[in-house]
Structure 1
Amino acid sequence: MANSDTLDRPATKSKGGAMTKTNEGRFFEDYTVGQVIRHAVPRTVSGGERALYHALYPARHALYSSDLFAQSCGLPSAPIDDLAAFHVVFGKTVPDVSLNAVANLGYAEGRWVTPVWPGDTLRSESEVIGLKQNSNGKTGVVWVRTRGLNQHDELVMEYVRWVMVRKRDADAAAPETVVPELKPVLAVGDLSIPAGLDFTGYDFELAGEPHRWGDYEIGEKIDHVDGVTVEEAEHMMATRLWQNTAKVHFDATFRPDGQRLIYGGHVISMARALSFNGLANAQMIVGLNAGAHANPCFSGTTVRAWSEVLDKAKTEAPGVGAVRLRLVATSAGGSMELKGDDGKYLPHVLLDLDYWALMPV
Structure 2
Amino acid sequence: MSELFTPYTLRATTFRNRAWVAPMCQYSSVDGHPTDWHLVHLGSLARGGAGLVISEATAVTAQGRISPFDAGIWNDEQAVDYRRITDFIKAQGAVAGIQLAHAGRKASTGRPWQGHGPIPVAEGGWQTVGASALGFGDWPAPRELSTDEVAELPSIFAAAASRSLEAGFEVAELHAAHGYLLHQFLSPLSNRRSDRYGGDFAGRTRALLEITAAVREVWPADNPLFVRLSATDWVEGGWDLEQSIAVSARLADLGVDLIDVSSGGLDPRQRIAPGPGYQVEFAEAIRSKAGIAVAAVGLITAPAQAEQILADGQADAIELARVLLRDPSWPQRAAHELGDSIAWPPQYERGRWPS
Larger Rg: 1
Structure with more of its chain in strand, by fraction = 1
Structure with more of its chain in helix, by fraction = 2
